[in-house]
Chains A and B, each alone.
Chain A
């Protein structure tokens, strides 16, 4: 048995789960899919005194599109559910592109989007998708719930703004005002490896112009990077060669890669430039064809 000793509880209600976390005063940890937490427990990087398994909580396993077009993704919605959701495939192209690239198919049966965002791995994929899409996380605590934009939620490597007595119960992708287009590209050395570099792009088009833009990068900094300047370069104009080049250049400048066994900093920056340009060029072509 590699993990350190802990007490395990599997509450049947969110109130019970919150009470345990509150009593643990920061020594508690929430277990959902466990595909990051259990490896951390095995390495004893995490050694909570109590583990609160939320897998038996009711009403958290949804991937639901609301009437207004927004998405609500419960804390127990597995990657595989997102990968197979017809609504995601049809309406959220960035998430649809990312889902089959998360880890590997077996891990996707278990791991969750909300857990991945909370884990805040600088090389994780979902935080980038959610930042690009302007998404947020709903945290429930003893005082009620609050909604936090993912760009403010992730604060550093493996760090988020959740209080020890809060549980992230849901992720939200807001209702679009225009036509949603987007893409996600990730360079990995082999299936299941963490991203060498990855880029998520989510745009809303209206009247032939980019009405909203989000670009986020993974694997090229100490946290997921919100490339807001790059996204800004696309706003209020048609998706053309000039703004695409500008956005790709700004995204590469926003990247803060470090050289390691996956590649040199220069190489990763180059990959970011290529990925952002490639996604945007593809979207421009797709938009032209549709017009």
Chain B
């Protein structure tokens, strides 16, 4: 078997089916002979060493392995690598252009939208896909669009702010102001006495 990925595809006997795939990953064309049962997540992580794509639950639930396949967010643990043949994949490593962060990445940094960081790559790619479709999402639209990505640290609040931040920046508005006015609206609707200290 000729494989770029000896470390994951231990030399297979001759009767094992192998497919040649050519996938454009973050703008770069990568070709390999792989077994068709190889998952896209493992193609990226073990094959291409792009370990920014995390595998969390491995059961199509958590969204940590989210990448963009031809611009659409997919869970790469639930796509075969061979299905990406001839298509374009964007991973978190492909978000920044040189030293310039994607506005979504900047937003996550500025609004402290991560703690352990495990869900972050998938979260940011889902956010990227959302903003590509809807440059001015509401809080509800952001929460809905990210509902396939689980975060066990942040409570999602700062993730929503980060996406609002990125959206404002991309629209040429003041991102900090957009987040501040969202925060003010939240304070406005919070019923008095909800703070535990007052109860």
Contact = CB atoms under 8 A, between A and B. Distances in A.
Top 10 nearest A-B pairs (CB, nearest first) are A104-B148, A8-B36, A106-B148, A3-B37, A191-B147, A7-B17, A109-B72, A38-B78, A106-B73, A1-B37
Contact of B80 (A38, A106, A107, A192): A38
B79 interface: yes
A278 interface: no
Main secondary structure of the interface of B (DSSP, over half): loop
Given A1-B8, A104-B148, A106-B74, A6 B61 contact: no
B53 interface: no
Given A34-B83, A39-B78, A109-B73, A1 B39 contact: yes
Contact of B75 (A41, A100, A106): A106
Contact of A192 (B8, B19, B79, B147): B147
A5 B37 contact: yes
Contact of A105 (B9, B59, B145): B145
Interface string B63-77: 100100000111100
A33 to B, nearest CB: 9
A106 B35 CA distance: 25
A6 B75 CA distance: 21
Contact of A107 (B38, B58, B60, B83): B60
B48 to A, nearest CB: 16
A106 B66 contact: yes
Interface string B20-63: 00000000000000011111001000000000000000111101
Contacts of A105: 73, 126, 144-148
21 contacts: A1-B35, A1-B37, A5-B17, A10-B82, A31-B80, A34-B80, A38-B39, A38-B78, A39-B59, A42-B58, A103-B60, A104-B148, A106-B63, A106-B66, A106-B73, A107-B148, A110-B74, A110-B75, A110-B79, A191-B148, A192-B148
Nearest to A53: B83
Contacts of A41: 37
Given A1-B37, A55-B83, A104-B147, A34 B16 contact: no
Contacts of B126: 105-106
Contacts of A110: 72, 74-75, 78-79
Interface string B129-147: 0000000000000001111
A43 to B, nearest CB: 9
Nearest to B70: A109
Contacts of B91: none
A51 interface: yes
- The size bracket of the interface on B is 20 to 34
A107 B65 CA distance: 12
B189 to A, nearest CB: 23
Interface string A80-108: 10000000000000000000100111110
A35 interface: yes
A4 interface: yes
B120 interface: no
Residue among B8, B42, B75 with max Cβ neighbours from chain A (10 Å): B75
B105 interface: no
B90 interface: no
A8 B82 contact: yes
Interface string A246-265: 00000000000000000000
A236 to B, nearest CB: 40
A38 B74 CA distance: 13
Contacts of A106: 63, 66, 73-75, 126, 148-149
Residue among B19, B61, B78, B147 with max Cβ neighbours from chain A (10 Å): B78
A5 B75 contact: no
Contacts of B63: 104, 106
